[in-house]
Structure 1
Amino acid sequence: MQTGLYAFAVAAAFLGAAIYIGFVEHPARLKLGAPAMVREWAMSDHRGTILLTTLSLVSAALALVQYRIGGDVRWIIGGLTILTSWPYEYYVLVPVSIWLWAIPPEKGSAPARKLMRDWGLLAWGYTLIGLATCGAFAWALKQLP
């Protein structure tokens, strides 16, 4: 039971970070001028990626431990769900990020702003992954004694 609660708590932290990015950090970033917006994004993107990938790995590992303890396959479902953030990052967000990295900060605010809006929309995928994971873990926790 305890390990499952920890897996849920870490998944909830993942969800909270994803919601923060979508509701607070990214809208504030869009208020900046293009050079400052790209510079701020570059710094926070690296840190945010490390944070979210670490949280997803820890949550999935704890879910695996809980599965080994109790044998409930819902923990595997939740663990695999949160791990989908890795291929989501690589195949969906990284292509947009590469284009953002390629834009010199002092050049073209229109392309940078459009790419930044696209990146922000795609980043909501993390929130959906976090919601699905927390839902799976809550479903599994409900059945625990």
Structure 2
Amino acid sequence: MQRSAQRAKSRPAGIGCCRKASAQVRASDGLQLSSAPTIFQMPKIELQVGSSCARSSGSSQPRRQPNVFGKALTRVSRLPGQCRGISMFQLSIAALVFATLFAGAALYISLVEHPARLGLADGPLLAQWQPSYRRALPVQSGLSVLGGVAGLIVAYLSADWRWLAGSVLLLANWPFTLFLIMPVNKRLMAMPESEAGAESRAMLVQWGNLHNVRSALGAATTLLFAWALAAAG
């Protein structure tokens, strides 16, 4: 009886120990299972974060670098032959054409038209000069401005003194006309044909001599522009 009682007492204790051990094992397994995702997931999260940062840092590097438009602007700014999409060669041709047209028109008046009309009588001489002056004024003034401005742009881009000198000579027609020729022009334009005589003829001769200076300025500009363009070619 005593042995059976001892066995009965020992069984619950063993079972209890086993149950406690199994509970501890299960608890430890549960801890391991519950902690296992955290142990293996944290490195994954860190790797994903690290890879995303690497991707973001890799994608941000091209943004920090100059874009294609910025590189193009840098290259264009380094090239002296570019000016708002128009090449320096085209501007050079335009400046030479404008200067040549101005010089050709001025030389035609000096060599052909004005000497021919001086052979007319005083009245017809004045009557022929007045409409001719009205028509020639916008043409020659416009060609002077266009050729001078184009030449100044080319001079700035190429740093060639010949373009600068030619542009200054061509634009000098404006102050020369305003201060020296314009007083004579106003007196001739205000004079009616009936009052034409020796005075009007003398003023027309003076006007022709002054106009020869404009022809010389246009011819000198054309030669300088042609010289600079030939040297650059």
Q: Calculate the TM-score normalised by the size of structure 1.
A: 0.89
- For residues 108 and 31 of structure 1, the distance between their equivalents in structure 2, rounded to whole angstroms, comes to 14
| CA distance in 2: counterparts of 1:32 and 1:67, whole angstroms | 45
Alignment of 1:70-81 (within 5 A): 70-81=158-169
- Tell me which residue corresponds to 1:63: 151
2:136 is equivalent to residue 136 of structure 1:
no
In the alignment, residue 75 of structure 1 is paired with which amino acid?
A: W
Quick one: which amino acid aligns to residue 53 of structure 1? S
Q: What pairs with 1:1-145 in structure 2 (closer than 5 Å)? A: 1-145=89-233
**1:7–1:109: structure 2 CA closer, same or farther, 3 Å change rule?**
same
Structure 1 runs of 4+ with >6 Å offset = none
Deviation of 1:108 (Å): 4.2
1:89-137: CA deviation from partner (whole Å, max 9, x where unpaired): 1111111112212433112411111111111111101111112211221
Alignment-mate amino acid for residue 134 of structure 1: T
TM-score by length of 2: 0.58
Unaligned runs of 5+ in 1: none
CA contact 2:98–2:146 (8 Å) conserved in 1: yes
**Residue type of the alignment partner of 1:38:** L
Output the aligned Cα RMSD: 1.6
Work out the CA distance in 1 between the residues paired with 2:216 and 2:148: 16
1:68 positional shift? 4.1
Rg larger in structure: 2
Higher RCO (Cα < 8 Å, 6 or more apart): 1
CA distance in 2, matches of 1:42, 1:108: 12
The answer for unaligned runs of 5 or more in structure 2 is 1-88
Single out whichever of 99-108 and 121-130 deviates more from structure 2.
99-108
Shift of 1:56: 0.7
Kept in 1: contact 2:126–2:196 (CA 8 A):
no
Which residue is 2:64 aligned to?
A: none
What percentage of aligned pairs have identical amino acids? 33
